[in-house]
Amino acid sequence: MRITAVGSDFISVNEENYDSNTYQNISRVHLVKFDFAMPTYDLINQVLYLFPKTNRFVIEDNIREYNSILRRTEKKYYVMNKRDIEIISFFRKNNKILLNFMNLSKEEKTFFLMEGIFEDVLKNTEVIALSKKIYDEKIEVLDKWKGNVIIVDKNDNV
């Protein structure tokens, strides 16, 4: 497992911050979340230029637009689940996913954390975002997993 820290290893870029000096001091970012309201080829290319060593990106919305732009690059992207979506159809529609436990309903979270189910989720997921509490409860399973774990504070923008 690899721990991915919000704010240094994982950042979110949008119209307000993608061209600012906010991220100039970060030498390498592992995951960049595209959070543009209206993604364009130019915006995405500017972010790719700003983070040339980053090969993994996260999208949550405007999947068709991002896909049409990113498929021309050699960059990999994950689709992150949004709050209040149908989680089963989300899994079926997307190949590369980032499962954000913070966006799951209470019932979905309880189900996915059940013994056996959690392990199965990890087999089909490369990146997860979860709270420190869940991380501490599942540390033994996560230590054997080869994916990325984003430990999310309730104030983090993930």
Strand partners, 78: 58
Element (DSSP H or E) covering residue 76:
strand 76-80
pLDDT-based confidence at residue 20 (cuts at 50, 70, 90): low
CB atoms closer than 10 angstroms to residue 82: 11
**In this predicted structure, what is the pLDDT of residue 96?**
86
pLDDT at 29: 87
- What pLDDT was estimated at residue 27? 67
Is 157's pLDDT higher than 70? no
**Hunting for tokens 């993608």 — which residue is that?**
18
Sheet holding 148-151, edge to edge: 2-4, 148-151, 127-130, 97-100, 76-80, 56-59, 31-34, 10-13
Note the pLDDT of residue 134.
95
- Average confidence (pLDDT) over 11-33: 80
Q: Domains of the chain: which residue ranges?
A: 2-151
Cβ partners under 8 Å of residue 16, min gap 6: none
pLDDT digit string (tens) for 32-90?
999 999 999 999 998 998 888 899 999 998 888 998 888 888 899 999 998 888 777 77
Whether domain 2-151 has CATH 3.30.420.40: the reply is no
What DSSP state is assigned to residue 101? G
- Band of the pLDDT at 8, cuts 50, 70, 90? confident
What is the model's pTM?
0.82
